[in-house]
Amino acid sequence: MQSKLLVALFAALALTACQKAEEAAAPAMEQAKEAAGDAVDSAKEAAGAAVEATGDAAAAAADATKDAAAEAAQATANATQEAADKVKDAAK
């Protein structure tokens, strides 16, 4: 009889300890959930910024390519004109 009482007392103490541990862990679990949500939000913002930066870089590259092509075309036109002028002068 005495051992059953000790087992019951031990079980009650164990249950109480588990309940106290659960109560103590609840705020930490809530903070962990909030931190995970904040991390997800930050990751979304970072991804959006990366997409925007990639778009800006692509636009800048397109502009630079367009400018370089225009300069190359102008240089070619100038060289062709100079060659034509030399041929014209030589023909005189």
Question: Tens digits of per-residue pLDDT, 49-64?
Answer: 999 999 999 999 999 9
- Which amino acid appears at position 56 of this protein? D
What are the pLDDT digits (tens) for 8-43? 988 999 999 999 999 999 999 999 999 999 999 999
14 vs 20: CA distance, rounded Å: 10
77 vs 16: CA distance, rounded Å: 91
pLDDT at position 92 over 70: no
Q: Does the predicted model carry a pTM greater than 0.85?
A: no
Q: Quickly list DSSP for 23-61.
A: HHHHHHHHHHHHHHHHHHHHHHHHHHHHHHHHHHHHHHH
CA distances for 90 relative to 39, 81, 84, angstroms: 75, 14, 10
